[in-house]
Structure 1
Amino acid sequence: MAPTDWIDIVTTTCHACGCGMREADTFCWTCGNRRTAPAADGGARPAPLAPPAPAAPPAPAARHVRRRAGRPTPPQPSPARTTRPARPVVAATPSRVQSGVVLGAFGVALVAAVATSTWWLLRPEPVTTVAAAPPRTSAPAVQPPSPAAPAPPVATPVPAVARPTGVLVPAAVQAPATSPDSTDAGGRSTSYAAANLLDGDPATAWRTEGDASGLTLTFTFAQPVRISEVGLVNGLAKVDPHDGTDRYPQGRRVLAVTWAFTGPAGTTTVHQDLADGVRELQALAVAPAEASRVDLTVTGVSAPGAGRAFDRTAIGEVRFTGA
């Protein structure tokens, strides 16, 4: 409905309050009085008693009404007051009564527990008097005898290892180079192997071609030995039995050697000079040295005595003596 439609339907006014009414309205929306028509003689009819208020209709939506000049505002129905229905009285059931009793008992117990805890925390500490113990009158404690100090360990003497004395014979000998076998004046074969150094015969020898300077002969013992003296024959000290030729001055003679003794304590080196023209064994005393191997190095030789045809170096014998 348009805003102007409401204004168009206001056709009369209430005789009691003067508010506008519609022609179809029986009661005034403002004061609630029944509308009465004017009397035929021009007097007003007495207002009948107001009927009981009808149930309040739903409030109409607010409308914007544009008032025309000279027309009163149509009456707005006042919303009827509604009375809130009374709550029904619910009778107490046994379960509700039991719940209340349980809650009450729990509350009493809680209060009692709090009170007991507070008293326990704030209670005064009892004073306890302890009587002093009488002094003890006991005999002095007897100290046990101290154990005797253990006797110092007695060193057990280690028996000395018996070392061979006298002439020591190596178990093996190695030579770097050896001259081939030859024949003497009687046509007999002659060998110059390194084993000839240890056979105890100066007429047999180890021989190598040319100058032997720098060459090393190695002697190995089966067990460590204690050596106090060394010596050698520095040439081929042989006289040919068939024609009497002296072989010693024909070839080169050894003039200097170096002895190296290798044992548990390491290696000890000793130098020895040899005289030319001495056909016998030339010995050298050394500080006792424990060794299991001896290296003999040639460091100096003479020139060949019979020319280039006899340019060879020979050692007739080597000897070791134990302390």
Structure 2
Amino acid sequence: MSEHFGFDLNLLRVLLAVHRWRSVSKASVELDLSQPATSLALGRLRKSLGDPLFVRSPAGMLPTTRCTQVVEAARKALTDIDETVQHGIVFDPATTRRDFVLTMADVGELHFMPRLMAHLQREAPHCNVRCETFPLEDIARALEDGRCDLALGFFPNLERPTIYTQTLFMHSLACVVRADHPEVRSTRIGLRKFLEMSHAVVIPMGRSGELFETLLKEKGYSRRVQLTSVHFLTVPAIVAATDMIVTVPRSIADYYTRVERLRIVEPPINIRPYALKQFWHPRYQSDAAVRWLRESVAQLFGSEETGLLRRP
């Protein structure tokens, strides 16, 4: 009883790290401890709890049932403790001058930023937002070390145990042609005509377009890509002046039709909807300012229907 009374809560942080990584060596890097120190802490936990906690397998260290139970309780306990410790750090959106850093593709900025900035102007008028572009391989580290507060959009490379995620809404793709296109007159384009046409393809920071490109390759379809660009914003003017077709996220297709004389047509291939999410690091789970920002994003975008782009 006395041993449990003097339980070292830091051991729970070790447990959570090992559970996330399924590896003592990787957990030690996250915890900034030596591997022997991490192993020693895990050994103390095993002795204290009377359970091996993990068993080795080809897939890594698999948690026991007891380990899973303790991990769930530890997460709640440490979150409660962190929130209590930070309780004196009051975050008042109406008065704070906090700067937030977000990362997303330019298509994401078109979708997220108008409504988010309108919300901040009302609720947190002194806050500033900086949208930064990080190399894909650096986004997880930027979230971890605080260079970035949230990543918004389609980032399959961030789907990992060490990053928290929240699905905001499902999205889909649509095709766009000029309003008076001489060969595309209906609301859905046939496959043969689609493959015969000249295409514009946007390859930005986001990777939703890769889903479509991969689907075409899987089906063995080839087409003429007359224009490849990294920018979404130049495309509507180009498509409006030519007989080209472009396939883009549906919200961007809606935007295109508002800025140029363009028309949306349904693609000839069934494209599965994909999830747009927000991503953050567990280190900032209890940060009051970042939590407020996450909750704001969820409230603004979390109940969207697929393909709709609401205006502020």
TM-score of the two chains, using structure 2 as the length reference = 0.18
More helix by share: 2
Greater gyration radius: 1
More strand by share: 1
TM-score of the two chains, using structure 1 as the length reference = 0.18
Larger RCO, structure (CA 8 Å, separation 6 or more): 2
